[in-house]
């Protein structure tokens, strides 16, 4: 059983959704990112997504773009991303990379999958890779023993959702809006409807991302999803912090608030 499957099995047994936190590697520094991700886990995050900074991030909003650009300007490399995975996976939390396809292809498809497995990674989210074009990648992750995670969106047809469900392992990433990532005043009401469309087509856990930033929003999503994904809200805390240490503590505090939110959904 994969690390993701074990985590969702545990949270399901606890009667709650899993909390998934994201930060781009290398921001505010290599060490600062590792400290913040470990603080996330200590605050209650169950699964960690490490972003691989990329120069053409089609899905990322201005907050994550700002952090990724800073990391790239500071010289973050794919090797450092993998070192970040190794450091965070050592906490025991299931750890993924979220990466656009181009950096993986440049690194080498099989080499990247093998390196992720060697680092203790649980899987890889590839937001711009479609299942129809993923043959070599699916072979590589199967050989490496890590989970490929694909996305569905409100625009996805039932046929596309079924295809994504067929090739995905670990969980299906349910993008709650058609827009880019970013904090929102309220979670899109399309998210619950999309989860309802996906449920009959797979037994995999469904994790909702794009927009969650508060404990109350986390509770709202946790009432109908198996996982709650939070990214931009964590990144914004690091951007706005007076210094790196303050940013790490702010991330820890938000993780605790969100963790309380996903647990509140099971008792309300």
| 258 Cβ neighbours under 8 A, 6+ residues apart | 19, 21, 43, 44, 45, 212, 214, 215, 218, 228, 230
Which residue in the list 35, 46, 60, 220 is annotated as catalytic? 60
Whole-number Cα distances in Å, 138 to 92, 103, 159: 25, 16, 19
Q: What whole-number distance in Å separates Cα of residue 102 and Cα of residue 51?
A: 14
Both tokens of 64, joined, read 């994550």
Would residue 60 show up in a list of annotated catalytic residues for this protein? yes
- Can 240 be counted among the known catalytic residues? no
Give CA angle at 22 (18, 28), nearest 5°.
150
44 close to 253: Cβ distance less than 8 angstroms:
no
Question: Please, where are the H alpha helices in the chain?
Answer: 3-13, 30-43, 62-73, 78-89, 101-107, 109-118, 135-144, 158-167, 190-198, 215-222, 232-240, 244-264
Beta pairing class for 227-230 and 206-209: parallel
Instruction: Point out the catalytic residue in the list 35, 49, 192, 220.
Output: 49
Compute CA distances 31 → 59, 73, 76, 84, 185, whole Å: 26, 16, 11, 9, 31
Q: Compute the distance between CA of residue 48 and CA of residue 176 in angstroms, rounded to an integer.
A: 19
Active site residues: 49, 60
């Amino acid at each position: 059983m994969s690390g993701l499957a074990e985590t969702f099995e545990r949270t399901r047994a606890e009667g709650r959704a899993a909390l998934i936190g994201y930060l781009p590697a290398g921001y505010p520094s290599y060490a600062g990112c590792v400290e913040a991700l470990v603080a996330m886990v200590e605050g209650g995050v169950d699964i960690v997504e490490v972003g691989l900074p990329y120069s053409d991030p089609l899905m990322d909003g201005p907050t994550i773009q700002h952090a990724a650009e800073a990391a790239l300007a500071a010289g973050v490399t794919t090797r450092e991303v993998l070192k970040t995975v190794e450091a965070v996976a050592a906490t025991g939390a299931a750890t993924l990379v979220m990466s656009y396809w181009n950096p993986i292809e440049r690194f080498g498809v099989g080499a990247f999958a093998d390196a992720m497995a060697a680092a203790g990674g649980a899987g890889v989210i590839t937001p711009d890779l479609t299942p129809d074009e993923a043959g070599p990648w699916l072979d590589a992750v199967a050989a490496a023993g890590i989970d490929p995670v694909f996305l569905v969106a409100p625009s996805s047809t039932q046929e596309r959702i079924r295809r994504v469900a067929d090739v995905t392992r670990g969980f299906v990433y349910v993008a709650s809006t058609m827009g880019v990532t970013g904090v929102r005043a309220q979670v899109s009401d399309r998210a619950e409807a999309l989860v309802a469309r996906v449920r009959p087509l797979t037994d995999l856990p469904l994790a909702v991302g794009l927009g969650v930033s508060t404990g109350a929003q986390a509770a709202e999503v946790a009432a109908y999803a198996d996982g709650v994904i939070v990214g931009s809200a964590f990144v914004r805390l690091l951007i706005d912090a007076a210094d790196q240490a303050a940013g790490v503590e702010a991330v820890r505090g938000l993780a605790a608030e969100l963790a309380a939110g996903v647990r509140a959904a099971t008792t309300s």
